[in-house]
Amino acid sequence: MEWQAWLTIAVVILVFIALAKEVAGPDILMMGGLLVLALTGVLDEQETFASFSNPAVLTIGALFILSAALRETGAMDIAMSRLIGRARTERAGLARLLPPLAVFSAFINNTTIVAMMTPLLIDWAKRFQLSPSRLLLPLSYATMVGSTMTIMGTSVNLTVAGLMLSNGMKPMGFFELFPVGIFICLAGLVYLLLVTPFLIPVRKDPVTEGADERREYTTAMRVEVHCGLVGETVDDAGLRHLPGLFLIEVDRDDEVITPVGPDFVIQADDRLVFAGVISTIVDLQRIRGLVPVTADDAARDYDPDRRLAEAVISRTSPLVNRSIRETDFRSAYDAAIVAVHRNGERVHEKIGDIVLRPGDTLLLQTGPDFIQVHRNSQHFYLVSELPGTESRRYHRAGMAVAILLGLILATTTETLPIAIAAFVAAGALIATRCISAASARKAIHWPILAVIAAGLGIASAMEKTGAADSIAQLIVGSAGQFGPLVTLGILYFSTTLLSELLNHNASVAIMFPIALATAHSLGVDPRGFVMAIAIGGSCAFANPVSYQTHLIVYGPGGYHFRDFVRTGIPLDLLCGAIALTLIPRFWPF
């Protein structure tokens, strides 16, 4: 090998060590490795940045917008409420939820599904006094095994598809991975439903810790006609044991009902009065058709573009010593007061009758510009927006789902290349106001795109310098005598191991040229080896820091590192056995 090949291998090893030690983020380390190869002349300018225009990278960016639109329109909220139905136990909820989510993850990027479903599943767990730790890890695993069925289920598959195009191979078909992926998915779901309940411990819900020390509010929510709680009892609706929140009373037709029993049936236009912590009040806003009642009782005119914020009244504010009804707050500030907190105590009067004092903390329903306009106002000591409280655009959910189905149809029938179809879909979502242009820009996870693009560039350097060929010869020399199947197994589990230690996209980018060179050295069709890299890169479950879906659930579930190891390694081996049995059947050597 020439010095360029040795340098490339050295860069890969150093990046590998830095990723394993978490010296910096994967995007910084992968980009750093790529730039070293550029500065030393291993890659020229065009080769260095060619991967940033790779269709796979662009497709993933567009799919982030699609996923954000499905979240903002509440399409996933609606789907979850229908899927989980009346399930009230952990096992029943997982049995109803995991199979369809695994199917969804074949068509929607699995990272996005987990990001959307995590707060919804935590909310459901809270309502029925279940531990999120028993639910979130199976959620991550289910979307990972489901993503192996199509090209767009995970960015790993799209990365491999981009590498195939870059190397002149026949493009990966939309359902090409399905014959193996479906068996991996089914076996994984059986494992999750029957085995993991014995492996995943109950971890304390971090959301409820210290709840007594948080600010408490008294707030009212109106039940609209289309609300999913209509016709359910308080117990069935999950409103009886909300963490840090208590249903004080129900106002119905000018009649106050208190205490509210577990068998009380909720009706449309009921006004539910709650007292408790802000985090659970925010969770209530995610229930479709349950809207805040403000001082002027404007819940019926609820604006879906509004969100929640907190503001502390200053001593010089004109609001001091006036009742909320007298202040005409909505006209003055383009916001509505939802609840008031005072000196560690709940304020029990109805919103309109509360006389405001200096230091009162107001929970506000505001427009998107409220923070910017009033951040430096002398009327308030402090103004802050509560993240994640933007209301869903439920009236656009059907449009978002229709655009998603159009994308799937266009790609499966090969009417449009997936990259073009994804951009058309993203543009249609913005044009139909399923998502705003600003939200679409925020939805793109640039660090993930940087990791993929840099990984493609490093893979190109390994191929160009002959480093991949040299490593392939080493593998063939040690395992080639046992035949292609043994060599395939070594490549598969090497990819899985690398993915456990590194970022999954970076791992497949490193292993792809090695797999290609190994197949050529053996004189066999490389397609099966490439598919092994794609599947092996996706089926790495034991390290919580190596994959985005694990990172999403790690903190909210209160997990320890060993929880992933204990449940992930058996699943690694199960998926590997299935893949190595079926790959030679569908992609003969």
Six-digit token pair at 403? 């655009």
Query: From CA 574, how far away is CA 267, in angstroms rounded?
Result: 49
pTM of the model: 0.62
Least-confidence region, from 10-19, 193-202, 248-257, 258-267: 10-19
Rounded average pLDDT over 316-330: 86
Q: What is the pLDDT of residue 476?
A: 61
pLDDT bracket for residue 301 (50, 70, 90): very low
pLDDT in tens, 215-260: 667 778 889 888 878 888 888 887 876 766 778 788 888 788 877 8
pLDDT tens digits along 255-267: 888 778 888 999 9
Q: Which range has highest mean pLDDT (123-132, 160-169, 364-373, 409-418)?
A: 160-169
Does 543 or 429 have the greater pLDDT score?
A: 429
pLDDT, greater one: 36 or 330: 36
Tell me if the bond preceding 132 is cis, omega within 30° of 0: no
For the segment 262-288, the average pLDDT, to the nearest whole number, is 79
pLDDT bracket for residue 539 (50, 70, 90) = very high
Q: What is the 3-state secondary structure (H, E, C) of 234-254?
A: CCCCCCCCCCCEEEEEEEECC
Contacts of 544 (CB under 8 A, 6+ apart): 550, 551, 554, 559, 561, 564
What is d(CA 539, CA 185) in angstroms, rounded to the nearest whole number? 10
Please check the confidence at residue 214 and state whether its pLDDT lies above 60.
Answer: no
CB 363 within 8 A of CB 217: yes
Which carries the bigger pLDDT value, residue 305 or residue 82? 82
State pLDDT tens for residues 454-475: 877 877 787 788 776 677 667 6
Quick one: average pLDDT of 432-447? 83
Q: Helix and strand tally (H, E) in the chain?
A: 24, 10
pLDDT score of 299 more than 60:
no
- Does residue 72 register a pLDDT over 90? no
The residue with greater pLDDT, 387 or 52, is 52
Selected residue with higher pLDDT from 103 and 300:
103
Q: Tell me: pLDDT of 304 over 90.
A: no
Mean pLDDT of 109-129: 74
Question: What percentage of residues in the chain have a pLDDT greater than 70?
Answer: 85
Query: What is d(CA 300, CA 64) in angstroms, rounded to the nearest whole number?
Result: 33
Tokens of 242: 């909300």
CA distances from 120 to 84, 139, 164, 300, 535 (A): 11, 12, 37, 24, 29
Tokens linked to 138: 């199976």
Residue bearing the bigger pLDDT, 347 or 519: 519
Please state which of the ranges 209-213, 350-354, 407-411, 581-585 shows the lowest mean pLDDT.
Answer: 209-213
Cα 541 to Cα 49, 303, 548: the distances in Å are 31, 42, 11
Residue 270's SS3 state is: coil
pLDDT, greater one: 531 or 339: 531
Q: Which amino acid is at 70?
A: L
Which amino acid would we find at residue 535? I
Residue 198 has pLDDT above 70, yes or no: yes
Above 70 in pLDDT, residue 372?
A: yes
- Tell me which of 105-109, 118-122, 275-279, 325-329 is least confident: 275-279
- DSSP letters for 284-342: HTTSTTEEE--TT--GGG--TT-EEEEEEEPTT-TTTTSBHHHHTHHHHHSEEEEEEEE
**How far is the first Cα of the chain from the last one, in angstroms, to the nearest whole number?**
28
| Strand-pair partners of 218 | 275
Q: What pLDDT, on a 0 to 100 scale, did the predictor assign at position 292? A: 78
Is pLDDT at 107 greater than 90 in this prediction? no
Collapsing DSSP to helix, strand or coil, 402 comes out as helix
Q: Which of 183-192, 203-212, 221-230, 333-342 is predicted with the least confidence, judged by mean pLDDT?
A: 203-212
Is 118 a residue whose pLDDT tops 80?
Answer: no
What is the C-alpha separation between 157 and 160, in angstroms, rounded? 5
pLDDT for 479 beyond 50: yes
Where are the chain's structural domains? Answer: 3-202+444-586, 211-385
Q: Say how many residues make up the chain.
A: 589
pLDDT at 350 over 80: no
| Integer Cα distance of 225 and 288 in angstroms | 10
Helix, strand, coil proportions of the chain in percent (round to 5)? 60, 10, 30
What is the rounded average pLDDT for all residues in the chain? Answer: 81
**What is 211-385's CATH superfamily?**
Regulator of K+ conductance, C-terminal domain (3.30.70.1450)
Mean pLDDT on 356-366: 84
Q: Which pair of structure tokens corresponds to residue 158?
A: 């799209």
